[in-house]
Amino acid sequence: MIKIAPSILSADFARLADALQQAEEGGADWIHVDCMDGHFVPNLTIGPPVVKALKKETNLPLDVHLMIERPENLIEAFIEAGADSLTVHVEASTHLHRTIQRIRDLGAKPGVSLNPSTALSSLDEILPYVDLVLVMSVNPGFGGQRYIPTITDKIAKLRRTLEERHLWPIELEVDGGITPKTLPDVAAAGTEVAQNLVYEDPEMYIQTQQRILKGRALALRVAKHLNLSQVPEFNGSAPQATAYWAMASAHTARATDDRFRAERIRPAAKPTATTAAAAGNTATGASAARGEAACPPSCAVPTPPRRRAWAP
């Protein structure tokens, strides 16, 4: 399920309690808290005292993003203040593994973030130790920036890496320039958590965003997993969104069956000429019976099962 995490940075700081209530009533999943130090990024925002005040006013998890130098010096203070997850930048921590382990030892979910120009290869050694990866889709430091279009491919590459390495428990979050216009593309690329600026537009209702986001993303994901030749374009209606959820749920239930999972993960035996021909005839006949074009060899390659069931 795609999660929505409104950024408190774009709220009215004189009415933070009201902003938290608005997010809860609108159906938000997390509250995203951007903490900047004026050194790692050219802006200064909030610290542990504000996080502590936020924790008293909401039951939603606080997703705290540290855009600061030497984050290891403030990990304990932020977790004691109420951070449920704590994300640090690969560019800011010299001993990243130690920092991540310290966050986990203190009881919070550790996350790692990287700037738009930082290569995904910087995550190779730390991925098995984190619960969250946050991809910056703008240069950090200020809210309200435009989404960098090339980040969509970066998200897709990271999603493939997580699945190829069987790191399904890791959640993939995108931060910066997320609007109703950009949400569908980042969701289709594999994002599971979208941080957005819902407070800048009072009419931007979170549940409507979720409906559009889920429907558009599922149109692509269901097509990929079920090898459908065509999935109707999402028209923004609640009934069609529900239909997409039903299709995805049915597929996930099948994929999470133990026997089915074992068949998908186990390396396939090398086909002989006879079995390959038989398989080709069977696939062609099944496609013809459904009125579809024959599936090319690439689309028949199984993908690893997702870690959680889809649910509306």
Alpha carbon distances (Å) from 163 to 160, 191, 228, 253, 282 = 5, 13, 21, 18, 29
34 annotated active-site:
yes
Mapping DSSP onto H, E and C, the string for 116-153 reads: CCCCHHHHCCCHHHCCEEEEECCCCCCCCCCCCCCHHH
**C-beta neighbour count of 308 within 10 angstroms:** 13
Q: Which among 34, 37, 63, 185 is annotated as catalytic?
A: 34
Polymer length in residues for the chain: 312
Q: Which among 29, 63, 175, 185 is annotated as catalytic?
A: 175
Interatomic CA distance for residues 61 and 151, integer angstroms: 26
Letter for the amino acid at 264? R
Q: Is residue 97 within 8 Å of residue 129, measured between CB atoms?
A: yes
Collapsed DSSP state (helix, strand, coil) of residue 273: helix
Q: Give the CA angle between residues 191, 109, 67 to the nearest 5°.
A: 75
Q: How does DSSP classify residue 44?
A: B
Interatomic CA distance for residues 291 and 217, integer angstroms: 25
Which residues are catalytically annotated? 34, 175
